[in-house]
Chains A and B, each alone.
Chain A
Amino acid sequence: MDKEFFKNLTIKKVAKAMQDGDTTALELTQYYLENIKGKNGELNAYLRIFAGAEDQARKIDEDIKNGKIMGPLAGIPFAIKDNMLIKGEVASASSKILENYRATYDATVIKKLREAGAIFLGTVNMDEFAMGSSTENSAFGPTKNPHDPARVPGGSSGGSAVAVAADMALASLGSDTGGSIRQPASFCGEVGLKPTYGRVSRSGLIAMASSLDQIGPITRTVEDAEIIFNIIKGKDPLDATTVNEDVIPETKQENKKLKIGLLTYDKNVVAPEINDMMEKSVEMLKQAGHEIMEVTLPYLKYSLSCYYIIMPAEVSSNLARLDGVKYGLLKEGDNLLDDYLKTRGTGFGKEAKRRIMIGTYVLSSGYYDDYYSKAQEIRDLIRRDFENAFDLSAGGVDAIILPTTTEPAFKIGEKTDDPMKMYLEDIFTVSANLAGVPAISIPTGFAERDGVKLPLGLQIIAPHFREDVLFSLGKQVENAKIKV
């Protein structure tokens, strides 16, 4: 197959080409490995490239030939975020404390992709333990945005977004605790899906904040995201929060006319091109026959504060396991306590330390009620805001649209001096995690900065378990090719 064919492929195109015998998993894998070799030096998306990728591809080709595996993901090369366990490979969560940790089992999502015939090219960079919005918090150096290498790719799944955007993988998996799939997808011009809480198993995902974490795909098209989602979703006895798919009502959102809520937001804190993009999206959706109405969620203004209490509280608890005893780094001191202090003092980066300490503060006696308990109550009210907004019997809407970010990709180093500035990056994304609802970011237009066109993203949020609404609306937005 000639080289032009491989550029910016989609899963669907590959499936057809493979069926027609026009390409093989091996050819595809070699194409991406070649691109990684050429581009990774500058972009730093991949932390490790798997030596066995080509062999895996040969085996898949064999299995496809013998009819042992079928289905859309057979032979599709993936990049995997460095916080997901692949048996026998290092999974470091981009932290020095796990730099040499080798996974002893496959994460459930990896097992599912493996069974579907996917190929793993390697693990990709992220903010340490998924804490950050720019991939600058990695212990292994920042990842660069392929649209402008002076800018961040977003985070924490920055490597996952760049691998797809720079054609170093056909698709990738990321994880999203407060926007970590959607924001980098938006900054890099890709599709990013955060599924409903409980829809995709987190067994084998290195936990950050367990009541918020979800795994999802970053892809070139909405259809690709849908294909991957359908493979990785489902009940898993190893993650007790996963929901039995049988209890989810079967819904398929065909091209019905929908009621769509435009979220009221402060236009002054958002780049003019993004306000423009929102207006054009509204116009496009109206022309497609949908009804648009403004939606206000009264407690939404508290979502960032709520998130930055609940998330660090869970971080401080989840990261307590990294103590130099069970796995990972050990820095020896004079006694066991000293071992803990030195191991954690040298093994964790600044952001991890900061969040562990904030979490320790909000959970400590005397502050617990004022911070943690209050945040849990507000979280409940935010969830109810969404439930009310989506209550069709009370004049509610089928979906809500809002920007994914307040601005296009910012410059490397621009926000590293002030953590609060970085936290404000998550203003449009954290609410979906707090409420547990599914959300997707769709590339929609560009904003020019320093003579470079930088991608923007439209975010769509749907009710619990209604990913089908996201896919249906997402495809309509994608096909409209809105110009900003």
Chain B
Amino acid sequence: MINIEEVEKLARLARIELTDEEKEQFQKEIGSILDYVSELKEAPIEGDEALAISENVNQLREDENPHETGLYSKELLEETPRSEKGFVKVKKIFE
């Protein structure tokens, strides 16, 4: 149902490093789960009504009354693994 290369591709897309043992295990397990849920492909859809259109409506608000700048910065930065001078620090993205 799904081969090792596909498992590796999924892991890469999902940004998860896997051990070889995990890859093998997931190949089997994800394969059997996909087999099970594939029954949906055969599920008959009767009529031609528009389906899967959410009845929920967007609830928007005015973008106004901002809180005082920096009010939460200290607390939030304390939770970041790395920060410097009031900024979240990450490795460089451009060479």
Do B36 and A361 touch across chains, with their CB atoms under 8 A apart?
A: no
Do A376 and B52 touch across chains, with their CB atoms under 8 A apart?
A: yes
Partner of B17, one of A306, A335, A341, A360: A341
Distance in Å from the Cβ of A234 to the closest Cβ of chain B? Answer: 15
Given contacts A336-B91, A379-B52, contact A308 B45 (CB under 8 A): no
Give Cα distance in the complex from A20 to B82, angstroms. 54
A sample of 17 inter-chain contacts (CB < 8 A) reads: A302-B39, A305-B39, A320-B15, A323-B15, A326-B88, A336-B90, A341-B16, A353-B14, A353-B26, A357-B10, A357-B11, A361-B2, A364-B10, A370-B41, A378-B45, A379-B52, A420-B32
Do A330 and B40 touch across chains, with their CB atoms under 8 A apart?
A: no
Q: Which of A299-354 contact B (CB under 8 A)?
A: 299, 302, 304-306, 308-309, 316, 320, 323-330, 335-337, 339-342, 344-346, 348, 350, 353-354
Give Cα distance in the complex from A350 to B33, angstroms. 15
Whether A375 is near chain B, meaning CB under 8 Å from some CB there, is: yes
Give Cα distance in the complex from A339 to B90, angstroms. 9
Given contacts A102-B79, A328-B81, A353-B16, contact A419 B40 (CB under 8 A): no
Whether A101 is near chain B, meaning CB under 8 Å from some CB there, is: yes
Interfacial chain B residues near A42, Cβ < 8 Å: none
Distance in Å from the Cβ of B91 to the closest Cβ of chain A? Answer: 4
Interfacial chain A residues near B58, Cβ < 8 Å: 240
New A-B pairs, 5, CB < 8 Å, besides A341-B17, A353-B14? A240-B58, A353-B26, A356-B16, A360-B13, A378-B45
Given contacts A353-B16, A357-B14, contact A380 B51 (CB under 8 A): yes
Do B14 and A360 touch across chains, with their CB atoms under 8 A apart?
A: yes
Partner of B93, one of A336, A342, A376: A336
Whether A104 is near chain B, meaning CB under 8 Å from some CB there, is: yes
Do B39 and A329 touch across chains, with their CB atoms under 8 A apart?
A: no
Whether A23 is near chain B, meaning CB under 8 Å from some CB there, is: no
Of the listed residues B7, B75, B91, the one surrounded by the most CB atoms of chain A closer than 10 A to its CB is: B91
User: How many of chain B's residues touch chain A, expressed as a range?
Assistant: 35 or more
Do A354 and B40 touch across chains, with their CB atoms under 8 A apart?
A: no
Can you list, as one digit per residue, whether each of A380-391 has a CB less than 8 Å from chain B (1) or not (0)? Answer: 110000000000
Given contacts A360-B10, A381-B51, contact A104 B30 (CB under 8 A): no
Interfacial chain B residues near A357, Cβ < 8 Å: 7, 10-11, 14, 16, 26, 30
Given contacts A325-B88, A327-B79, A335-B91, contact A341 B15 (CB under 8 A): yes
Chain B interface residues (CB < 8 Å from chain A)? 2, 7, 10-11, 13-18, 22, 25-26, 29-30, 32-34, 36-41, 43, 45, 51-53, 56, 58-59, 61, 72, 75-76, 78-82, 88, 90-93
Give Cα distance in the complex from A102 to B88, angstroms. 17
Of the listed residues B75, B79, B92, the one surrounded by the most CB atoms of chain A closer than 10 A to its CB is: B79
Do A420 and B51 touch across chains, with their CB atoms under 8 A apart?
A: no
Interfacial chain A residues near B36, Cβ < 8 Å: 304-305, 308, 420, 423
Q: Which of A230-259 contact B (CB under 8 A)?
A: 237, 240-241
Partner of A241, one of B56, B82, B88: B56
Whether A475 is near chain B, meaning CB under 8 Å from some CB there, is: no
Interfacial chain A residues near B38, Cβ < 8 Å: 305
Question: Closest residue of chain B to A417, judged by CB?
Answer: B29
Given contacts A309-B40, A325-B81, A357-B10, contact A104 B72 (CB under 8 A): yes
Interfacial chain B residues near A377, Cβ < 8 Å: 45, 51-52
Interfacial chain B residues near A356, Cβ < 8 Å: 14, 16
Where chain A touches its partner, the secondary structure class is: helix
Interfacial chain A residues near B10, Cβ < 8 Å: 357, 360-361, 364
Distance in Å from the Cβ of A269 to the closest Cβ of chain B? Answer: 15
Distance in Å from the Cβ of A329 to the closest Cβ of chain B? Answer: 7
Do B18 and A325 touch across chains, with their CB atoms under 8 A apart?
A: no
Do A237 and B61 touch across chains, with their CB atoms under 8 A apart?
A: yes
Give Cα distance in the complex from A11 to B42, angstroms. 50
Partner of B33, one of A325, A375, A419: A419
Partner of B16, one of A336, A344, A376: A344
Give Cα distance in the complex from A16 to B65, angstroms. 44
Whether A10 is near chain B, meaning CB under 8 Å from some CB there, is: no
Whether A358 is near chain B, meaning CB under 8 Å from some CB there, is: yes
Give Cα distance in the complex from A302 to B93, angstroms. 44
Interfacial chain A residues near B81, Cβ < 8 Å: 324-325, 327-330
Do B88 and A302 touch across chains, with their CB atoms under 8 A apart?
A: no
Question: Closest residue of chain B to A103, judged by CB?
Answer: B79
Do A316 and B80 touch across chains, with their CB atoms under 8 A apart?
A: no
Give Cα distance in the complex from A377 to B52, angstroms. 5
Do A305 and B37 touch across chains, with their CB atoms under 8 A apart?
A: yes
Given contacts A330-B81, A360-B14, contact A373 B76 (CB under 8 A): no
Of the listed residues B15, B17, B78, the one surrounded by the most CB atoms of chain A closer than 10 A to its CB is: B15
Distance in Å from the Cβ of B38 to the closest Cβ of chain A? Answer: 8
Give Cα distance in the complex from A164 to B58, angstroms. 38
Do B52 and A361 touch across chains, with their CB atoms under 8 A apart?
A: no
Whether A410 is near chain B, meaning CB under 8 Å from some CB there, is: no
Do A302 and B43 touch across chains, with their CB atoms under 8 A apart?
A: yes
Of the listed residues B37, B78, B79, B88, the one surrounded by the most CB atoms of chain A closer than 10 A to its CB is: B37
Whether A7 is near chain B, meaning CB under 8 Å from some CB there, is: no
